[in-house]
């Protein structure tokens, strides 16, 4: 039996060589595939370092790095830097970093309700593409791009707010506000009583009141329109637009000459005529005493005028006195007034 033969198997030298070549090809192909896959996987990995002035609670090696809630890498190492800074090395998946460049912003955020922390990358604008082994400096002016929203930071902020708010000064301020409100109590009570009085005495329906208010607003709109038109007309005066110096001189004459002269005349009249005004006071008082009851006197004068108007009606020849005189039995007046031929019983 040949050296390559097996008991119970029909095998010759040519078939053995063929099987050996096939096995060697399979091994070489598997090695090539493994090498290519490892190379592709190596190319998809991106190592980036972040230099920060602060680090969130719970951030350590192995912490997940997320972008838009999707896991894109982990934290490799955290090392101290110069001047109290920290150097955070990230191992990222290049294929998942959509829109991320060196202008990125960083948030230390809780991953769940139990306070487990993670790194959240935020997109920036105007940066250069990320490259392998790049160092992004988030200190100095860019320190504002790092935000700590971990549970420990939130608890510390809450405690600081409580210490700054719940102070004796706040209690004193609240006590003073209470005293001030007590001082304003009478005013508030007066306002309430006034509102109740208005509600009790209101006789007109609210629709009528609102309608009248609307009519008032319409009048107000007309008033505003008229005011604007008046201002427009004043602005459109030719002398204001063409000869401003002449207008200014006229205003100066009125302000500096006319008005002071009127004031001087008024002062002189006050000094010279004040005695005459004192003399008018007794005269007006005497005239007032002559008419003790102005209302009754007015009614009497009105009645007298009505009677005169009735006694003297209008005629084509003017007002004529409507008078009838009985002259019967008085020949001494009837003959001169009515003539000699007048009958004895005539009356006029």
Indicate the domain borders of the chain: 1-37, 45-157, 207-236, 238-288
Rounded distance, CA 261 to CA 124, Å? 76
Q: Quote the pLDDT of residue 77.
A: 92
User: How many Cα atoms are found within 13 Å in the side-chain-facing hemisphere of 329?
Assistant: 1
Rounded distance, CA 319 to CA 302, Å? 19
Query: What are residue 147's DSSP bridge partners?
Result: 107
The SS3 assignment for 136 reads strand
Q: Name the DSSP letter for residue 101.
A: B
pLDDT at 40 over 60: no
Q: Quote the pLDDT of residue 339.
A: 65
Residues, the chain, total? 348
Task: Report pLDDT digits (tens) over 190-207.
Answer: 888 888 887 777 777 777
Rounded distance, CA 187 to CA 65, Å? 62
pLDDT at 260 over 60: yes
Rounded distance, CA 201 to CA 293, Å? 37
Task: Report pLDDT digits (tens) over 79-131.
Answer: 988 888 899 999 998 888 888 888 898 888 887 776 778 888 988 888 888 88
Which stretch of DSSP H or E encloses residue 138? strand 134-138
Which stretch of DSSP H or E encloses residue 271? helix 259-290
| Burial degree of 104 (CB within 10 A; 0-12, 13-18, 19+) | buried
Are 72 and 96 in contact by the 8 Å Cβ rule? The answer is: yes
Greatest mean pLDDT range, 34-38, 140-144, 286-290, 336-340: 140-144
Alpha carbon of 91 to those of 3, 34, 53, 74, 97: distances in Å?
Answer: 54, 22, 20, 6, 12
Supply the pTM of this predicted model. Answer: 0.39
Q: Quote the pLDDT of residue 276.
A: 79
Q: Quote the pLDDT of residue 275.
A: 78
């Amino acid at each position: 039996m040949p050296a390559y033969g097996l008991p119970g198997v029909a095998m010759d030298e040519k078939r053995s060589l063929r099987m050996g070549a096939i096995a060697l090809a399979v091994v070489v192909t598997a090695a090539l595939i493994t090498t290519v896959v490892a190379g592709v996987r190596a190319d998809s990995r991106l190592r980036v370092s972040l230099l920060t002035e602060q680090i969130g609670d719970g951030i350590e090696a192995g912490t997940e790095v997320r972008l838009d809630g999707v896991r894109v890498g982990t934290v490799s190492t955290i090392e101290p830097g110069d001047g109290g800074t920290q150097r955070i090395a990230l191992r990222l998946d290049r294929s998942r970093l959509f829109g991320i460049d060196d202008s990125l912003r960083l948030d230390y955020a809780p991953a769940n309700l139990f306070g487990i922390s993670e790194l959240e990358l935020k997109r920036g604008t105007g940066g250069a593409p990320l490259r392998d082994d790049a160092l992004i400096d988030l200190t100095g002016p860019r320190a504002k791009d790092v935000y700590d929203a971990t549970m420990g930071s939130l608890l510390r902020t809450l405690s600081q707010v409580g210490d700054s708010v719940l102070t004796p000064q706040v209690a004193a301020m609240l006590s003073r506000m209470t005293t001030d409100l007590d001082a304003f109590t009478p005013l508030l009570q007066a306002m309430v009583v006034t509102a109740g009085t208005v509600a009790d005495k209101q006789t007109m329906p609210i629709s009528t009141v609102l309608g009248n208010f609307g009519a008032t607003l319409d009048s107000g709109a007309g008033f505003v329109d008229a005011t604007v038109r008046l201002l427009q007309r004043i602005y459109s005066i030719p002398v204001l637009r063409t000869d401003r110096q002449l207008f200014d001189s006229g205003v100066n004459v009125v302000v500096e000459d006319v008005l002071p002269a009127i004031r001087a005349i008024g002062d002189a009249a006050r000094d010279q005529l004040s005695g005459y005004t004192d003399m008018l006071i007794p005269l007006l008082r005497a005239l007032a005493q002559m008419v003790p009851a102005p209302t009754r006197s007015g009614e009497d004068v009105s009645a007298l005028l009505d009677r005169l108007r009735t006694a003297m009606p209008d005629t084509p020849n003017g007002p004529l006195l409507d008078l009838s005189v009985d002259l019967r039995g008085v020949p001494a007046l009837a003959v001169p007034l009515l003539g000699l031929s007048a009958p004895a019983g005539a009356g006029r």
